[in-house]
Structure 1
Amino acid sequence: MSGVKRTAKKGRPLLALFLLLVLLASGSVVIQRFVAPPPTFLMVSRAIEGEGLSYRWRSLDDISPRLVQAVIASEDSTFCAHNGFDMKAIERALQANARAEKRGSGRIRGGSTISQQTAKNVFLWPGRDWIRKGLEAGYTVAIETVWGKRRIMEVYLNVAEWAPGVYGAEAAAQHWFGKSADALTAREAARLAAILPSPRRYSASSPGPYVRRRTSRIQAAMGTVREQGLAACVLG
Structure 2
Amino acid sequence: MRWIGLANNEIGTLQPVAEIAARARELGALVHLDACQGPAWVRPPLELVDLASFSGHKLGAGRGGLLLARREVPLQPLQFGGPQEWGRRAGREDVAAAVAVATALDVCARCRADWSLAARPRAERLRAALVELGARPTGAEPRLPNFATAAFGRVKGEDLLLALDLAGIAASSGSACASGSLDPSHVLLAMGLSMAEALGSLRLTVGPQTNDAEIDRALQALSGIAALA
TM-score w.r.t. length of structure 1: 0.27
Question: Which structure is higher in strand share?
Answer: 2
Q: Which has the higher helix share?
A: 1
TM-score, scaled relative to structure 2: 0.28
Structure ranking higher on relative contact order (CA contacts 8 Å, 6+ apart): 1
